[in-house]
Amino acid sequence: MHLRQAHLCFDVDDLDPGKPRALALAAIKAEVQSGDGVTVFIDPAGHPFCLVLDDE
């Protein structure tokens, strides 16, 4: 049996306030990052999620 994980991406207007908030909620910053405008985190259960800078 193969289990699949959802990867959530959250659009944000500014990454700076979101990063410490994610860390305060027990997320950890992933060792591998996607690139500019995206910060990848891992939640306490081990699921990845991203904060993505919304350019619009």
1: in domain: no
3: in domain: no
Can you tell me the distance from the alpha carbon of 26 to that of 20, in angstroms, rounded to the nearest whole number? 10
For residue 44, what is the domain's CATH number?
A: 3.10.180.10
Distance of CA 38 to the CA centre of its chain: 8
19: in domain: yes
CA-to-CA dists, residue 30 to 18, 51, 55, angstroms: 15, 12, 23
2: in domain: no
| Beta strand 38-42 pairing with 48-53 | antiparallel
36: in domain: yes
Domains: count for the chain: 1
Q: The domain containing residue 33 runs over which residues? A: 8-53
Q: What is the pLDDT along the chain (56 residues), one digit of tens a residue?
A: 677 777 899 999 999 999 999 999 999 999 999 888 999 999 999 999 999 998 76
Q: What are phi and psi of 16, to 5 degrees?
A: -60, -45
18: in domain: yes
Can you tell me the distance from the alpha carbon of 28 to that of 51, in angstroms, rounded to the nearest whole number? 13
